[in-house]
Amino acid sequence: MSRKRSKQKHIPLRTCVACRETSPKRELIRLVLIAEGEVVVDETGKRNGRGAYLCRKRSCWERALKRGILDRALRTHLSAESKARLQHYAEDLPEHKPGSDASMTPEAGPSNVPPQGHA
């Protein structure tokens, strides 16, 4: 009576500090405060130091930098140089997350679907 269970692999979740949306860790970008007091983008997700996660959309990065959200999450004060470097990195990111409601056209959106069961 042995049963084989197909175990789903555990997918670690993290929260974007700007929009508070929870996503799989690999879909977010980790920023880390390193020993030298600098904040850098952690491409591997394995660097030592206090970390914070942001979505891969420019609006989250702009919000986090403008409102001091990163400063609080990393428990530091970002230098002008670090802010400039992070803003430069954010310029290459899309404005909205691919597949999000903001990227849908009104014709394709769910609001134009008639309710089910009503004639």
Domain boundaries defined on the chain: 13-97
Compute the distance between CA of residue 67 and CA of residue 12 in angstroms, rounded to an integer.
27
pLDDT at residue 118 greater than cutoff 70: no
Which amino acid, 12? P
pLDDT at 96: 76
pLDDT at 14: 98
pLDDT at 98: 61
Query: Contact at 8 Å (CB) between 52 and 70?
Result: yes
pLDDT at residue 112 greater than cutoff 60: no
Residue of higher predicted confidence among 33 and 2: 33
pLDDT at 3: 63
Lowest-confidence region among 7-16, 21-30, 105-114: 105-114
**Mean pLDDT for the chain?**
84
Residue ranges of alpha helices (H) inside 4-117 are 58-66, 69-74, 80-90
Class (C level, CATH) for 13-97 = alpha beta
Compute the distance between CA of residue 74 and CA of residue 61 in angstroms, rounded to an integer.
14
The model's pTM is 0.75
3-state SS, residue 80:
helix
